Chain A
Amino acid sequence: MRRGMHSHYVLKRLLQIIPTFLAVMLVVFLLVRLLPGDPASAILGDRATADIVERTNRQLGLDQPLPTQFALFVWNLLQGNLGDSISLKVPVLRLIGERLPVTLFLTVYAAALGLLLAVPLAVLAAVRRNTWVDALIRGVFQVGLSLPVFYVALQLLTLLGARLGWFPIGGYGSGTLGHLYHLFLPALTLGLNLAAVLVRTLRSSVIEVITAEYVEFARAKGLRPRLIMTRHVLRNALIPTVTLLGLNIGALIGGAVITETVFAIPGVGRLMVDAIFGRDYPVIQGLTLTFAVIVSLVFLLTDLIHARLDPRTELS
């Protein structure tokens, strides 16, 4: 019965994505057209005559009234067509299909590094709370939190990449190991930023759980300290962290846009930056919609994981 309720819930949530999706479509469609400049002048440069610009705009369908353009955009989308890139002349869907796996790899890698840093350090800070260890961990991450992503990226790039030569300074590499090696610095950049957010929450929830009566009961049961820490403390303390991680996926993708540019990684982040500079409307629209879908799906996944971790949650 529980399982049946879950699939019902998932279906409902998926249907709820549709209005969100429509709103994002409209906002993005209008926003890109509010940007100063237009695709034709971006393609043709400053010295193109008004005549040529107008002809190009007609070719791109940009001379039509906005409602018509929007209707066409939606109509194409319903047929699974995001249009063609103006500057690259290939279908947007194919572009995204090629680049998205790179960004997803980077995001998951960054989230993994972030958790790998945050969980042990938060536990250490919580267990040694109000000592110099705690102060050091919190201090370092407080500083990390206030540094912009691009700055951290450049510092890591200069130090570990250029000066020490431990890691490549850009590119994607080939094969899983190659990806892991090439994306280490960018993933670390994003992971550090994420860890800074997670450590604070996780530390306070570990402290809260450690002093909970059920942990005292677990100790009174004579369980081994390791089992108490993993099963009783972390299992509970991670619940708010999972939610926070899910909420930060949007920020992580936003960070990926900057990081991919600094590290010259061929992901959708860089594609987005290029598309914005080139006023490549279909690519911007396609990517924004993709991000919206990813974030919505991650939120749904977060809620499902939360329900799985905390049996008291009621999905409705």
Chain B
Amino acid sequence: MSAPPALLQVRDLNVRMPTPAGTLHVVRGVTFGVQPGEMLGLVGESGSGKSVTLRALMGLYRRPVTVSGTVEFAGQDLLRASEAQWQATRGAQIGMIFQEPMSALNPVLTVGTQIMENLRTHRGLRGRAAAERAAELLDLTGIPSPRARLNDYPHQFSGGMRQRAMIAIALASEPRLLLADEPTTALDVTIQDQILRLLLRLREELNMSVILVTHDLGVIAQTCDRVAVMYGGRLMETAPVGALFREPRHAYSLGLLRSLPGSGARRAPLQPIPGGPPNLLALPPGCAFSPRCAYASGACLGAEPPLVPVAPDRASACVHAAALPSLTGEVSA
């Protein structure tokens, strides 16, 4: 991974949340990078720590939650940044969109106001110039008659339109990195497809990097360049999308892919992963996935396997990385 300088380089990110039952170590030593213009998928079951990772990158956590490690963005460590530096970065150079636009948009402010407050804070635009730009942004995200819709409230938009509006808000500051937290999960399939196409188009047009958090490998396959698989707060595997789908190098990735419905001739019985997400307060010794893993052996149970390079541009935290079957072979067999 001695690639060109990354736009974002996360090293050993840890997030701890105190709860009455004990401190939850929600994100455990996560390390990954995002190249300029790259679309990285962060995939995992709910509770795997993927959304928490995004929020930690954005500096949205406050005490008693603690975040440690380094988050280097454009050469600056955000976790050690001053409030002024954060102000110039959060929402400005890094934008974020949420899963449920109905609850992420303020119900009592017009969509126009919610775009224009961004333009004012980060671009210094106000008055007519701000309104013009806000309409342009709505137009960019494919909202018809954008000028008239500036005065509408979020509840007057349809689900898909609301998600477009939220994207327009996040794009107002022309961010270099967009964090998208399950942006299509709340939408029906056709709208989901439109929003994903929109993100791809915007990535091209604005040369943004995107981190897309999702639990849906189908979404990753459709949009991302690279993928990072999370489980129990740790990265299990990072790989280019095509390589991961052909040859998963982690037993958990393999399990995820096998539980995915294929299409047409590739139809094979679904193989769900037995068991449920791990309890972060009582993690097993060694690999967190081992209790559910078909390949688990004594080697998995000692120390937690580190994420190590297994091929050019690929890393895995699986003891059995080399022994896993390739999926194309299995399907044709």
- Give chain B nearest CB distance to A209 CB in angstroms: 10
- Give chain A nearest CB distance to B51 CB in angstroms: 11
Partner of A222, one of B98, B105, B173: B173
Query: Across the interface, which residues of A come within 8 angstroms of B106, CB to CB?
Result: 214, 217-218, 232, 235-236
Partner of A221, one of B86, B107, B117, B155: B117
Task: Report the Cα distance A311→B112, complex, angstroms.
Answer: 14
CB under 8 Å from chain A, chain B span 154-178:
155, 166, 169-170, 173
Residue of B nearest to A209 (CB): B106
For the complex, is B92 an interface residue (Cβ under 8 Å from A)? Answer: yes
Task: Report the Cα distance A224→B88, complex, angstroms.
Answer: 11
Task: Report the Cα distance A212→B92, complex, angstroms.
Answer: 22
Contacts A220-B58, A227-B117; A213 near B98 (Cβ below 8 A): yes
Question: Do A236 and B117 touch (CB < 8 A)?
Answer: no
Task: Report the Cα distance A119→B228, complex, angstroms.
Answer: 46
Candidate in A212, A216, A227 with the most chain B CB atoms within 10 angstroms = A216
Query: Across the interface, which residues of B come within 8 angstroms of A239, CB to CB?
Result: 108
Partner of B89, one of A222, A223, A235: A222
Question: Do B121 and A312 touch (CB < 8 A)?
Answer: no
Contacts A212-B103, A217-B104, A218-B106; A223 near B153 (Cβ below 8 A): no
CB under 8 Å from chain A, chain B span 82-124:
86-87, 89-92, 95-96, 98, 100, 103-109, 117-118, 121-122
Partner of B96, one of A220, A224, A309: A220
- Give chain A nearest CB distance to B152 CB in angstroms: 9
- Give chain A nearest CB distance to B73 CB in angstroms: 13
For the complex, is A128 an interface residue (Cβ under 8 Å from B)? Answer: no
Partner of A213, one of B86, B103, B155: B103
- Give chain A nearest CB distance to B179 CB in angstroms: 8
Question: Do A236 and B121 touch (CB < 8 A)?
Answer: no
Question: Do A235 and B98 touch (CB < 8 A)?
Answer: no
Query: Across the interface, which residues of A come within 8 angstroms of B108, CB to CB?
Result: 235-236, 239, 309-312
Partner of B122, one of A213, A217, A218, A222: A222
Query: Across the interface, which residues of A come within 8 angstroms of B117, CB to CB?
Result: 221, 223, 227, 231
Question: Do A221 and B121 touch (CB < 8 A)?
Answer: yes
Size class of the contact patch on chain B: 20 to 34
Question: Do B109 and A312 touch (CB < 8 A)?
Answer: no
Task: Report the Cα distance A232→B181, complex, angstroms.
Answer: 21
For the complex, is B60 an interface residue (Cβ under 8 Å from A)? Answer: yes
Residue of A nearest to B58 (CB): A220
Task: Report the Cα distance A220→B166, complex, angstroms.
Answer: 12
Task: Report the Cα distance A223→B91, complex, angstroms.
Answer: 8
For the complex, is A94 an interface residue (Cβ under 8 Å from B)? Answer: no
Residue of B nearest to A227 (CB): B117
Residue of B nearest to A232 (CB): B106
Task: Report the Cα distance A217→B163, complex, angstroms.
Answer: 13
For the complex, is A219 an interface residue (Cβ under 8 Å from B)? Answer: yes
Question: Do B107 and A312 touch (CB < 8 A)?
Answer: yes
Task: Report the Cα distance A6→B251, complex, angstroms.
Answer: 63
Query: Across the interface, which residues of B come within 8 angstroms of A220, CB to CB?
Result: 58, 60, 90-91, 95-96, 98
Query: Across the interface, which residues of B come within 8 angstroms of A235, CB to CB?
Result: 106, 108-109
Question: Do B169 and A221 touch (CB < 8 A)?
Answer: yes
Partner of B155, one of A212, A223, A311: A311
Task: Report the Cα distance A312→B121, complex, angstroms.
Answer: 27
- Give chain B nearest CB distance to A219 CB in angstroms: 6
Question: Do B155 and A222 touch (CB < 8 A)?
Answer: no
Candidate in B86, B121, B155 with the most chain A CB atoms within 10 angstroms = B121
Task: Report the Cα distance A231→B107, complex, angstroms.
Answer: 12
Partner of A217, one of B87, B105, B153: B105
Question: Do B91 and A222 touch (CB < 8 A)?
Answer: yes
Task: Report A203-243 CB contacts with B as 1/0, cut-off 8 Å.
Answer: 00000000011101111111110010001100110010000
Query: Across the interface, which residues of B come within 8 angstroms of A217, CB to CB?
Result: 96, 98, 104-106, 166
Task: Report the Cα distance A239→B92, complex, angstroms.
Answer: 31
- Give chain A nearest CB distance to B213 CB in angstroms: 13
Question: Do B87 and A214 touch (CB < 8 A)?
Answer: no
Contacts A217-B98, A222-B89; A231 near B121 (Cβ below 8 A): no
Query: Across the interface, which residues of A come within 8 angstroms of B121, CB to CB?
Result: 221-224, 227
Task: Report the Cα distance A99→B90, complex, angstroms.
Answer: 57
Task: Report the Cα distance A213→B103, complex, angstroms.
Answer: 6
Residue of B nearest to A214 (CB): B106
- Give chain B nearest CB distance to A33 CB in angstroms: 49
Residue of B nearest to A213 (CB): B103
List, sorted by A's number, 30 A–B pairs whose CB atoms are closer than 8 Å: A213-B98, A213-B100, A214-B103, A214-B104, A214-B105, A216-B60, A217-B104, A217-B105, A218-B106, A220-B90, A220-B91, A220-B96, A220-B98, A221-B90, A221-B95, A221-B170, A222-B90, A222-B118, A222-B121, A223-B117, A223-B118, A223-B121, A227-B117, A227-B121, A231-B109, A231-B117, A235-B106, A235-B109, A309-B108, A311-B153
Known: A216-B98, A217-B96, A217-B166. 4 other contacts (CB 8 A): A213-B100, A214-B107, A218-B106, A219-B60
Give the A-binding residues of B (Cβ under 8 A).
58, 60, 86-87, 89-92, 95-96, 98, 100, 103-109, 117-118, 121-122, 153, 155, 166, 169-170, 173
Give the B-binding residues of A (Cβ under 8 A).
212-214, 216-224, 227, 231-232, 235-236, 239, 309-312
Q: Which 8 A-B pairs have the closest CB atoms?
A: A222-B91, A222-B90, A221-B91, A220-B96, A217-B104, A213-B103, A214-B106, A311-B153
